[in-house]
Amino acid sequence: MIEPRSSGRKSVTLAVLIVGIVVGSALGSVIGYTLASRNGQAQSGPLSQQVAALQGRVDLLTSELNYSGQPAGNLTYASNLTQIYVSASRSIVVVEGIVSQTTVGLFGPSKQYGMVQGSGFVYYYEGLPYIVTNNHVVSGATNITITFEDGVSYAASVLGSDPYSDLAVLRAAGPISAPGLTIVPSSGVQVGEPVVAVGNPFGLAGSMTFGIVSQVGRTITESAANGYPIADVLQFSAPINPGNSGGPLLNSRGEVIGITTAEVSNSQGLGFAIPSNTIIRELPSLIQNGSYDMHPYLGISGTDMTPYIASAAGINVTYGWLVENVVAGGPAARAGIRAGNTTIDTVLGQVTVGGDIILAINGTRVTSGDVLSSYLEENALPGQTVMLTVWRAGSLDNVYVTLGIRPAP
């Protein structure tokens, strides 16, 4: 939380102290110069130049005090929060729709109706405005509407969607005059960067929270993704709640680096966002074709290696991704990747061992399934051949796999 008044007073005191120290240093230098001159020990260069240089340092520090008297170097991001919100809020919408569910009771089947609600934001592609949101916000919904900050509402339809990345693009039935947000690549996003999430939690339109990127390259699973992981996800600490889904995750310049998609129940502000690289990669296909079908596919399932599994299996490999099952006829099976053959009990439950352990892909170390999935999503396409370095029966081997297209959900 930002506490402008109390932290402002402390920052003012600190800033004034810093400026005072520099001023004192400047005066001390001038006095020292004068005394040294009297003793014939002054260094070369006119006194006026040194005084001017020191005064420049004082002026620079003074100019770095913002309107609240806080050192700009410390709280530049915090002081820009209002500006970020004002710039972005006009582009963010409430997305609502009706979903139905058939239930069977004493008098036969009946339909029950409910409302789904989420967030979205305006993005211009080839000069035309679209609404970007999460697939799970609009999947199966009818009577979809979007509502802007000023209360203007339009009916909307799903133009394209991808359950494997939890992305959807909507087209509004009416004219959109709101500005679009800028999407920038998420490749350079680093842990510790400040972020802002703007959305409509619990229907509270235009709510903003802020935090930091707490990790990159995560994977999450959602029911609509048919059990496949959604890869290369950003993890962040800005609190989000139901209704935030589909809203933008912004960097300190107000640019979109992700789209909020999920939270962890009972956590203290732990959220996840689909990275902007995924949005940039898929958006043209979602708009033009209504879908995206270029997710690479290995045709394997397994689990992360741990010291517990290694100990129970009697092997000395404690990292990597253990292949438990191989899909018959899939890319990995055709390449000769081996599945597990023995089920053992560990402290973490039953695991099928005896299969290959993937340690690297194209020379990139694989420490977990997150790393493997994120590498494939970011760097590979169906039809490409990748080299998997595997630990097999006590030795290392390189296996070349030509990737397939992930089956439709």
**Domain with 302 in it:** 296-405
Please give the average per-residue pLDDT across 124-128, as a whole number: 96
| Domain assignment present for 49 | yes
- Environment class of 137 (CB within 10 Å of its CB; exposed 0-12, middle 13-18, buried 19+): buried
Please give the average per-residue pLDDT across 79-97, as a whole number: 90
Distance between first and last Cα of the chain: 41
Q: Report yes or no on whether pTM surpasses 0.85.
A: no
Annotated catalytic residue 295: no
Residue 4 has pLDDT above 60, yes or no: no
d(CA 100, CA 110): 10
Q: State the CATH number of the domain containing residue 135.
A: 2.40.10.10
* 330 and 235 within one domain: no
* 143 and 50 within one domain: no
What pLDDT was estimated at residue 137?
94
* 401 and 302 within one domain: yes
- What φ, ψ does residue 384 adopt, rounded to 5°? -80, 155
What pLDDT was estimated at residue 228?
84
Residue 303 has pLDDT above 50, yes or no: yes
Q: What is the DSSP letter of 177?
A: -
Q: How confident is the model at residue 257 (pLDDT cuts 50, 70, 90)?
A: very high
Continuous segment of H or E residues that includes residue 349 = strand 349-353
| Domain assignment present for 28 | yes
* 383 and 303 within one domain: yes
* 335 and 270 within one domain: no
Domain boundary among 260, 284, 308: 284
* 380 and 303 within one domain: yes
| Choice among 207, 214, 245, 373 that is catalytic | 245
| Domain assignment present for 178 | no
| Domain assignment present for 84 | no
- The count of structural domains within the chain is 4
Continuous segment of H or E residues that includes residue 128 = strand 128-133
Please list, residue by residue across 347-369, b when 16 or more beta carbons sit within 10 angstroms of its beta carbon and e when fewer do: eeeebbbbbbbbbbbeeeebebb
| Domain assignment present for 11 | yes
DSSP per position, 226-278 = TT-EEEEEEEE-S---TT-TT-EEE-TTS-EEEEEEEE-TT-SS-EEEEEHHH
d(CA 68, CA 360): 51
* 300 and 375 within one domain: yes
| Domain assignment present for 188 | no
Q: How confident is the model at residue 283 (pLDDT cuts 50, 70, 90)?
A: very high
* 27 and 65 within one domain: yes
CB neighbour list of residue 290: distance below 8 Å, 6 or more residues apart: 159, 160, 161
- What φ, ψ does residue 91 adopt, rounded to 5°? -95, 0
d(CA 16, CA 27): 16
What pLDDT was estimated at residue 267?
59
| Domain assignment present for 86 | no
Domain boundary among 17, 44, 79: 79
Tens digits of per-residue pLDDT, 392-409? 989 999 999 999 999 887
CB neighbour list of residue 314: distance below 8 Å, 6 or more residues apart: none
Q: Are 340 and 357 in contact (CB under 8 A)?
A: no
* 378 and 319 within one domain: yes
Q: How confident is the model at residue 134 (pLDDT cuts 50, 70, 90)?
A: very high
Domain boundary among 236, 257, 284: 284
Q: Are 236 and 271 in contact (CB under 8 A)?
A: yes
| Choice among 162, 166, 356, 370 that is catalytic | 166
Residue 2 has pLDDT above 80, yes or no: no
Q: State the CATH number of the domain containing residue 374.
A: 2.30.42.10
* 300 and 280 within one domain: no
Q: Are 212 and 251 in contact (CB under 8 A)?
A: no
Q: Which of 41-50, 83-92, 181-190, 396-405 has the lowest mean pLDDT?
A: 41-50
* % of the chain surpassing 90 pLDDT: 60
* 70 and 101 within one domain: no
| Domain assignment present for 245 | yes
Query: CB pairs under 8 A, 24+ apart, for 52-58?
Result: 54/22, 54/25, 54/26, 54/29, 54/30, 55/26, 57/22, 57/26, 58/19, 58/22, 58/23, 58/26
* 360 and 332 within one domain: yes
Determine the 3-state secondary structure of 324 from DSSP: strand
Q: Which residue has the tokens 């890869």?
A: 231
Annotated catalytic residue 245: yes
| Choice among 136, 165, 295, 356 that is catalytic | 136
Q: Which of 407, 384, 181 is nearest to 280 (CA)?
A: 181
Q: How confident is the model at residue 42 (pLDDT cuts 50, 70, 90)?
A: very low
Please give the average per-residue pLDDT across 13-32, as a whole number: 41
